[in-house]
Every structure is written in C-alpha cells, then in structure tokens.
Amino acid sequence: MQKLTIRCPDDMHLHLRDGANLKRSVADSAYRFARAIVMPNLVPPISNTAQALGYRERILSALPADLDFEPLMTLYLTETLSPDEIVVAQQSGFIHGIKLYPAGATTNAEFGVSRMERVYPVLERMEKLAMPLLVHGEVVDPEVDAFDREAVFIERELAPLMARFPGLRIVFEHITTREAVDFVRGGPAHLVATVTAHHLLLNRNALFAGGMRPHHYCLPLLKRESHRQALLEAATSGDPKFFLGTDSAPHTRHAKESACGCAGIYTAHAAIELYAEAFASANALSRLEVFASQYGADFYGLPYNSESMALEEIAVEVPSSLFFGEEALVPFRAGEQLAWRLSS
Ligand code: NCD
Ligand code: ZN
C-alpha cells in the first residue's frame, strides 16, 4: 500500500453555492483543503466587496466547528463594475481575484462580459494594482464547435487581451486542451492555469459511456484523450504555472438529470484523493505536493499552510448520493470506487 504525506493543500477554484446548500460543500472542502478561491457566480452575482464580505461570513457560519478553513473571496466582473471598486476590494484584504465570465459561457454567466472593451478601464486598474484576473476561457459564439470553444478563446480573446494589458496577472481557469497548456507554457510567468481532477481523469468518452451521462457534463467540456494526456503531463511536470483548482460545482440531482441539464461536476467529497489517483497514474506522486499546496499559494502571494495531511492507497466506495440542503447531490464516482483515502 502506498502512503503519502503532503502539506495541507489549497483549492484555487471552487463553487460553494449559498444558503442551505453551503453546509455540504463547505464541510467537504474544509475537510481536505485549508483555503479555497471561492467563485462568485451566485444569483445575483457577488459583484462588490461588501457582498463578498457578507458571503464570506455565511461560508464561515456554515463551517463545522472542528475544522479550519479560509475562504479566499473573488468578485464577479460585470460590465458595470467600477475601477474604484478594485481599490476597495484590494484594501479589504479579503479579495484575491476578479472573475471574468464571457456572458452566457457557463452556469450563472449571464451577468458577465459581452464585449471586452467595456471592461478595459477595470482591467487597466487591475493591471496597475496586480489584482489577478481569473478567466473562464471559452467563446460563446454558437458557430464555434462546443469542443473548440477554449482553443478559439485563446486566439480571439486571451492573446489580444494580454497584448493590451501585458502586466495583467491571469489565471486561465480549468484548462482542458493541449492548446491551453502550450499557451500558458509559452506565456509570461504571471500567466498560470488551474487544472481540475475530473479533466485529469476522464476524456470525453465518459459523457457517452453506455448512454448519456449527465453527471459528467461540465464546462469546459471533457475533451479527447490526447488533451487529457497533455493536461496530466503539465500538472505532473513540476511546472509552477499549473496548480490545483477543482472547479467542484454542485447541482441538485434534479437539475442534472433533466432534458436541459446543468453543467458542473461535484468532486469536493474526494478531491485530493482524486488528484492522488491521477498523479499515481503518471508515476508522479512526489509532485502532488507542489501542485496542490505550493504553486497556487506562490501565485496568490500567500504563505504555505503549516499543517500536513496523509493519504493512503485503499479503495473506498462513494455513496450513490449525498445530502445537499433539502435535495440530493450525485457526487463524482457515485456508487464506484476511489483508489485513495485520507488516513486519520
Ligand atoms: C460551474 C458552476 O456550476 O458554477 N459549472 C461547471 O461546469 N464548471 C461554472 C463554471 O466554472 O464553468
Ligand atoms: Zn468553475
């Protein structure tokens, strides 16, 4: 049996939701991660500092008494966000990034940006203040094939944006393609990327294994095997530009198993275990710690966590469904096995 002890990790891209649904996701994440960059795509969106501070308090109130967890807050970049709000956000000490959703690109992205020019003044201020821009990197053009939306975004939006704001710190979130890996590698040191566990473990065949698999539907979509391999190679290479961000995104069973199902995969119940499995598959367990616990902190200018965590290679079954407020949530690997577990 393999065992592994690492410094406590951070999840640099996480959806916690709100209200009655907070308890489940906060507890699962806090059990594994010391800190997380919390996504602002609520309805209405978290689009100013006061809202983010209120949301932070609700997250902390949902935290089980025996766990420590620091939510690292973000703001949703709407077309009406003012550049001065970036100053307020930074001075608060609690806001670590501003999230760009191309309008309509994903869950609750309708409040996002439809024309990049409209947010140039905000981006200019962010560049000046070194406030990171967290990018959902997909075009929404319906003419573009759904599997090409990330690659096309790089050419149409991201590269021109970086040419206009060369000093802007950017996280290319939940990358899914070889094109994104190459672009991040070839870019400046302040262009980095998060990689999810599910994109390291699955290719797009998982969407259609024996029938339609709504619980494998997320955005950006799973891609073909050659892309999964490029992601796995990048994540396990020890390159500080690639670090952990689960994009764990819970939706109720009803919202997923529907004629028009929501995008999002819930991995928070087993996130670090799933990354361990992916890294073990590439014979790279020795590089899990830098990916999970150091490179993200380095980018965000945070101290490393002082606690450590132990994992062991023992199979455990995942329940077929979890409690999620008043509803049910189908987790990743529901009814199947995980190869790793946390050791007590
Ligand atoms: C996320 C969600 O449900 O909030 N869904 C997803 O498929 N990843 C939004 C996002 O990060 O795209
Ligand atoms: Zn996300």
Global pTM?
0.98
Ligand nearest to the CA of 14: 2
Ligand nearest to the CA of 138: 1
- Quote the pLDDT of residue 306: 97
> Can you tell me the distance from the alpha carbon of 173 to that of 193, in angstroms, rounded to the nearest whole number?
6
- Find out whether the beta carbon of 107 lies less than 6 Å from any atom of ligand 1: yes
Residue where the block lists tokens 């190459």: 182
| pLDDT cut 70: percent of the chain above it | 100
> Can you tell me the distance from the alpha carbon of 341 to that of 151, in angstroms, rounded to the nearest whole number?
35
Measure 95 CA to ligand 1 centroid, in angstroms: 20
DSSP letter for 240, please.
T
Residue where the block lists tokens 């790793």: 340
Joined tokens for residue 161: 């944006």
Ligand 1 atom with the shortest distance to the CA of 174: 11
- Find out whether the beta carbon of 216 lies less than 6 Å from any atom of ligand 1: no
Summarize pLDDT for 27-56 with one digit per residue, the tens: 999 999 999 999 999 999 999 999 999 999
Measure 249 CA to ligand 2 centroid, in angstroms: 7
- Find out whether the beta carbon of 38 lies less than 6 Å from any atom of ligand 1: no
- Find out whether the beta carbon of 249 lies less than 6 Å from any atom of ligand 1: yes
The answer to whether the Cα torsion of 281, 284, 287, 289 is positive or negative is: positive
Mean pLDDT value of segment 331-341? 98
- Quote the pLDDT of residue 268: 98
> Can you tell me the distance from the alpha carbon of 197 to that of 302, in angstroms, rounded to the nearest whole number?
23
> Can you tell me the distance from the alpha carbon of 220 to that of 272, in angstroms, rounded to the nearest whole number?
21
Give catalytic residues, as residue numbers: 247
Summarize pLDDT for 55-109 with one digit per residue, the tens: 999 999 999 999 999 999 999 999 999 999 999 999 999 999 999 999 999 999 9
Summarize pLDDT for 217-235 with one digit per residue, the tens: 999 999 999 999 999 999 9
* Contact between 123 and 87 (Cβ < 8 Å): no
Is the peptide bond preceding residue 44 cis, with omega within 30 degrees of 0?
yes
Please give all residues whose CB falls under 5 A of ion ligand 2, grouped by chain where several chains appear. 247
- Quote the pLDDT of residue 167: 98
Structural domains of the chain, with CATH: 9-308 (3.20.20.140)
Is the peptide bond preceding residue 220 cis, with omega within 30 degrees of 0?
yes
- Quote the pLDDT of residue 1: 86
* Contact between 61 and 37 (Cβ < 8 Å): no
Measure 344 CA to ligand 1 centroid, in angstroms: 31
> Can you tell me the distance from the alpha carbon of 299 to that of 239, in angstroms, rounded to the nearest whole number?
12
Backbone angles phi, psi at 310, to 5 degrees: -115, 140
On the question of pLDDT at 344 being above 80, the answer is no
Measure 315 CA to ligand 1 centroid, in angstroms: 28
Neighbours of 2 (CB within 10 A): 12
Sorted by sequence, the CB contacts under 8 Å of residue 229 that are 6+ apart come out as none
- Find out whether the beta carbon of 250 lies less than 6 Å from any atom of ligand 1: no
Extract long-range pairs of 92-97: CB within 8 Å, 24+ residues apart: 92/49, 92/52, 92/53, 94/49, 94/52, 94/53, 94/56, 95/49, 95/52, 95/131, 96/37, 96/72, 96/132, 96/300, 97/37, 97/131, 97/132, 97/133, 97/134, 97/171, 97/300
- Find out whether the beta carbon of 247 lies less than 6 Å from any atom of ligand 1: yes
Summarize pLDDT for 140-199 with one digit per residue, the tens: 999 999 999 999 999 999 999 999 999 999 999 999 999 999 999 999 999 999 999 999
Question: Could you tell me which of 96, 93, 139, 87 has the C-alpha nearest to residue 116?
Answer: 139
